[in-house]
Structure 1
Amino acid sequence: MRKFIVLICSLFCCNALLAQGYNISVQVKNYKNGYFYLGHYMGKQTYLVDSALVDANGNAVIKGTKALPGGIYMIVMPKKDRYFEILLDKQQTFSVSNDTADFIHHATFKNSPENETFYAYNKYLFTESKASEKVKTDYAAAKTPADTANVRNEQEALTQRIQDYRNNIIAKNPQSLLASIFKGMREPAVPPMPKKADGTLDSTYPYRYYKAHYWDDFNLSDGRLVRTPILETRLEKYFKTLVQIHPDSVIAECDMLISKAKKDREMYKYILWWCTYTYEQSQYMGFDAVFVHLVEKYYVSGQTEWLTEEQKNKIISRAYAMAPNLIGQPAAPLVLQDPAGKPISLYKIPSKYTVLVFWDPTCGHCKTEIPRIDSAYNASWKKRGVTILGIKTEGTKEEWTQYIAEHKLQWVNAWDPQYTSNYRRLYDVYSTPVVYLLDEKKKIVAKRLGVEQLDGFLTHLESLSPNKK
Structure 2
Amino acid sequence: MRHWIVLFCFLSVTAWGQTGYKLDFTVKGWKDTTAYLGSYYGEQTRLNDTARVNSAGKFSFDNVKPLPQGVYFIVLNKSKIFDFVVGASQHFSIETSADDFSKALVKGDTDNKLYFENLQNNIARGNEADPYIAILRDSTLKEDQKKEAREKFSKISDQVMAYQKQLIANNPTTMTARLLKTTQTIDIPPAPKKADGSIDSTFQLRYYREHFFDNFDLADDALIRLPRPTYLEKVKEYLNKLYAPVPDTIMMAIDGLVERAKKNPETYKYLVWSCMFLYQNPEVMGLDEVFVRLYDKYFATGAMDYWIAASMKKSVKEYADKLRTSLVGKTGANLIMQDLNLQPKSMYDIKNKYTILWIYDPECGHCKEETPKLVEFYNKNHTKFDFQVFAVASDTSLQKMRTFIKNMKIEPWVNVNGPRSYLPQHYSKLYYAESTPSLYILDREHKIIAKKLPVKQLEDFFTRHEKFVQNRKTGVQKSTKLTP
Structure 1 and Structure 2 fold alike (TM over 0.5): yes
TM value normalised by structure 2: 0.85
Amino acid at match of 2:98: T
Counterpart in the other structure of 1:253: 253
- In the alignment, the residues of structure 1 paired with residue 298 and residue 333 of structure 2 have an alpha-carbon distance, to the nearest angstrom, of 26
* AA matched with 1:288: D
CA distance in 2, matches of 1:408, 1:232: 47
Deviations 1:293-336 (A, max 9, x none): 11110011111120110111111111111111111111122221
- Candidates 455, 458, 468, aligned match of 1:464: 468
Counterpart CA distance in 2 for 1:131 and 1:198 is 51
- 1:389 alignment partner, SS class: strand
Corresponding residue of 1:31: 30
Contact 2:28 2:56 in 1 (8 A): no
State the partner residue of 2:213. Answer: 215
Q: Distance in 1 between matches of 2:205 and 2:133?
A: 27
Secondary structure, aligned partner of 1:82: strand
Matched, 1:413 2:415: yes
- 1:441 corresponds to which residue? 445
1:25 positional shift: 2.0
CA positional deviation for 1:403: 2.2
Query: Relative to 1, partners in 2 of residues 1:221 and 1:408: Cα closer, same or farther, differing over 3 Å?
Result: closer
1:185 maps to which of 169, 174, 183: 183
2:374 maps to 1:373: yes
In the TM superposition, what is the alpha-carbon distance from 1:200 to its structure 2 partner? 5.2
Q: CA deviation at 1:68?
A: 1.1
Gaps of 5+ in 2: 1-16, 475-484
In structure 1, how many angstroms separate the alpha carbons of the residues matched to 2:393 and 2:259?
A: 45
1:365 CA drift (Å):
1.3
| Equivalent residue, structure 2, for 1:126 | 123
The aligned length equals 449
> Which residue of 97, 102, 105 maps to 1:108?
105
Residue pair 2:20, 2:63 contacting (<8 A) in 1 also:
yes
* Range with greater deviation from structure 2 (280-289 or 225-234): 225-234
Once the two structures are superposed, the pairs formed by residues 317-336 of structure 1 within 5 Å of their partners are 317-336=318-337
1:321-358 deviation line (CA, Å, top 9, x unaligned) = 11111111111222212222222222222111100011
In 2: Cα distance, 1:283 partner to 1:426 partner: 22
For residues 209 and 300 of structure 1, the distance between their equivalents in structure 2, rounded to whole angstroms, comes to 34
How far residue 202 of structure 1 moved from its aligned partner, in angstroms, is: 4.3
Displacement of 1:19: 9.4
State the one-letter code of the partner of 1:252. Answer: M
Q: What is the correspondence of 1:29-68 to structure 2 with a 5 Å cutoff?
A: 29-68=28-67
Q: Is the 8 A contact 1:361 1:395 kept in 2?
A: no
Cα deviation per residue 1:147-180 (whole Å; 9 max; x = unaligned)? 65x6675565444433332232233332222222
- The correspondence of residues 14-413 of structure 1 with structure 2, limited to 5 A, is 20-77=19-76, 79-105=77-103, 107-133=104-130, 136-137=133-134, 139-140=136-137, 143=142, 154=152, 157-197=155-195, 199=197, 201-228=199-226, 229=228, 230-304=230-304, 305-409=306-410, 410-413=412-415
Q: 2:111 and 2:158 mapped to 1: Cα distance?
A: 23
Identify if the C-alpha distance between structure 1 residues 466 and 172 changes in structure 2 by more than 3 Å, giving closer, same or farther: closer
Structure 1 runs of 4+ with >6 Å offset? none
User: Which amino acid in 2 is paired with 1:266?
Assistant: E
Q: Which whole-Å deviations, capped at 9, do the CAs of 1:209-254 have from their partners, x for residues lacking one?
A: 2222111232222222221233233223323332323332222111
- Following TM superposition, by how much is the alpha carbon of 1:384 offset from its aligned partner in structure 2, in angstroms? 2.0
Question: 2:39, 2:408 → 1: CA distance?
Answer: 57
Aligned-residue offset at 1:42: 1.4
Superposed CA RMSD: 2.6
Aligned sequence identity (%): 33
Change (3 A) 1:403 1:232: closer
Q: What's the offset of the Cα at 1:44?
A: 3.9
Greater alpha carbon shift after TM alignment, 157-166 vs 308-317:
157-166
User: Residue 302 of structure 2 aligns to which amino acid in structure 1?
Assistant: G
What amino acid is the match of 1:346? M
Q: Relative to 1, partners in 2 of residues 1:91 and 1:324: Cα closer, same or farther, differing over 3 Å?
A: same
Is residue 336–residue 344 contact of structure 2 (8 Å, CA) maintained in 1? yes
Secondary structure at 1:218's aligned position in 2? coil
CA distance in 1 between counterparts of 2:194 and 2:405 reads: 64
Cα distance in 2, alignment partners of residues 190 and 146 from structure 1 = 32
Counterpart code for 2:309: T
Aligned partners of 1:146, 1:28: CA distance in 2, in Å?
46
* Alpha carbons 1:362, 1:395 under 8 Å: kept: no
Conserved 8 A contact 2:396-2:417: no
How far did 1:201 drift?
A: 4.4
DSSP-derived class of the 1:103 partner: strand
More displaced 10-residue stretch of structure 1: 169-178 or 83-92? 169-178
Alpha-carbon distance in 1 for matches of 2:331, 2:151: 57
